[in-house]
Amino acid sequence: MSKTKVTTLSNGIRIISETEEYFETISLGVWVDVGSRNELEKLNGVSHLLEHMAFKGTSNRSSKEIAQEIENVGGYFNAYTSRENTAYYIKILKKDLILAVNILIDILTNSIFEELELEKEKDVIKQEIGQSKDTPDDIIFDYFQSVAFPNQPIGRSILGTNENIKNFTRDTLINYLNSEYSANRIIFSASGDINHDDLVNIISKQMSSYSVCKDGNFQKANYIGGEYREIRDLEQVHVLLGMEGVSYKDDHYFSSQVFSSILGGGMSSRLFQEIRENRGLCYSVYSFASSYIDTGLVGVYAGTSENQVKDLIPSVIEEIHKMTNSISEEDIVRAKAQLKASIIMAQENTSSRCENVARQLIIHGRPVLNSEIILKIDSVDRESVLNFAKYILDRSLPVFSAIGPIGKVENFEKIIDRISY
């Protein structure tokens, strides 16, 4: 059985480890409770740029040396930015733990943000923004988010804007790092064959004096809803239809996950079977239930032809309505089995385990046992899923986005009428 331990340093940095002696690899990372929703509008995109610059050189190592030191021992490294978190992580053999810790601490505390590297990385991100805009089934989610939460940090793109990226300087990064990367928002997480006390000793020697900042920029989410439409010369119409969901801590959270699994989570789901298999209205259709610390979104994505979109949207709404009254016990059992299996399967990967315990610490303030999560999933019954379906349909204005040859997409008022029916 794995052993999970948490230690908090005097400055608030938390260290969590999940020890499994039979693993030969270790996943280690730094999770920072800061993401794009911590940005002021003029700083939108800075969290992502900062993450990109993490492995671009420190006062001790060049970017090439960082890569070589990790890859010379067969390890790999990566990073990501979400709306609520930023993560930097390494996977290595267990004998190379100290090297991985030292490199992560080095990039966190000694990055130099050299001007030439910064300008190159700004160009890379501009290319990333352009690629996203050229990928309709990607950018539509940004438009969806911006309509759900207009004029708010949580509604803005993680990548930022070209104008913002152009204006960012080395001082922008340093000031943001100093104001948002506070010790009490930093978590070191590790999974594998680890001695927790040894890990704490290594980190505490270098990080105990890391500073605590004032309260950062965090704006509570305010769901609004509405629509976004864009005419493009594409083969398909891409559509996203959704409603306000629930936060990670909401009592409805696990009901939302079961709901989404039944509605559009896999080839046996309602949407796949009815919309694709029975009616042949699209190739790709699925649902999602995404959560944040204080809100969430539930939605359905589909891509279809210009002529079939007029039938697709009413059919999707019909399937959502069926979720309020025609869910079987078999549906519930299958969806819960899928969720529980995904949790158990993730336990076979140190990277997944490392991320899971870090996120649990951020969201809940403590590690959450898998047995506890499975009990919560098991507690979801047919009635709670039916009630969740009614809850989201009655709660607020829907959010809708469409990109492509959208001439035959019905107007938003008609969509609202169908949902309210």
pLDDT greater than 80 at residue 372: yes
Q: Which of 18, 39, 51, 180 is catalytic?
A: 51
Task: Quote the pLDDT of residue 235.
Answer: 95
Give yes or no for residue 215 having a pLDDT over 80: no
| pLDDT range class, residue 421, cuts 50, 70, 90 | low
Q: Is 373 exposed, middle or buried (0-12, 13-18, 19+ CB in 10 A)?
A: middle
Q: Do 108 and 30 form a contact (C-beta atoms < 8 A)? A: yes
- Name the one residue in this structure whose structure tokens are 């359905």: 300
Instruction: Give the chain's mean pLDDT.
Output: 95
Q: pLDDT per residue over 170-205, tens digit each?
A: 999 999 999 999 999 999 999 999 999 999 999 999
- Lateral strand order in the sheet of 399-404: 226-231, 399-404, 237-244, 296-304, 284-291
In the structure encoding, which two tokens stand for residue 352, read together? Answer: 């997944």
Q: DSSP secondary-structure letter at 411? A: P
Per-residue pLDDT reduced to its tens digit, 10-64 = 999 999 999 998 899 999 999 999 999 999 999 999 999 999 999 999 999 999 9
The band of 1, judged by pLDDT with boundaries at 50, 70 and 90, is low
Give strand pairing partners of 303: 238, 284
Q: How open is the CA angle 5-7-8, to the nearest 5 degrees?
A: 150
Q: Cα dist. 219→38, 134, 136 in Å?
A: 7, 30, 29
Q: How far is CA 210 from CA 6, 254, 289, in A?
A: 18, 37, 37
Q: Catalytic annotation on 274?
A: no
Residue 211's pLDDT band, with cuts at 50, 70 and 90, is: confident
Q: What is the largest CA-CA distance in the chain?
A: 64
> CA angle, 132 as apex, 104 and 45 as ends, to 5°?
50
The distance in angstroms from the start CA to the end CA of the chain is 51
Rounded Cα distance, 81 and 31, in Å: 10
Q: Give the phi and the psi of residue 391 in degrees, each rounded to 5.
A: -60, -50
- Backbone φ and ψ for 174, nearest 5 degrees, come out as -65, -45
71-107 confidence digits (pLDDT tens): 999 999 999 999 999 999 999 999 999 999 999 999 9
Number of H helices, E strands in the chain: 16, 11
For the chain, domains (ranges, CATH) are 3-207 (3.30.830.10), 226-420 (3.30.830.10)
Query: Average pLDDT of 280-295?
Result: 96
To the nearest whole percent, how much of the chain has pLDDT over 90?
A: 93
In order of 311, 348, 352, 396, the CA distances from 344 in angstroms are 39, 7, 11, 35
- Residue 375 burial (CB count, 10 A): 11
Give the number of other CB atoms < 10 A from CB of residue 100. Answer: 25
How much of the chain, in percent, has pLDDT values that exceed 70?
99
What whole-number distance in Å separates Cα of residue 293 and Cα of residue 42? Answer: 23
Chain segment 394-403, per-residue pLDDT in tens: 988 999 999 9
Which tokens is 215 given?
Answer: 């309260």
CB 129 within 8 A of CB 122: no
Res 132: pLDDT: 96
Return d(Cα 73, Cα 53) in angstroms, integer.
Answer: 23
Q: Output the pLDDT for position 396.
A: 82
pLDDT recorded at residue 104: 97
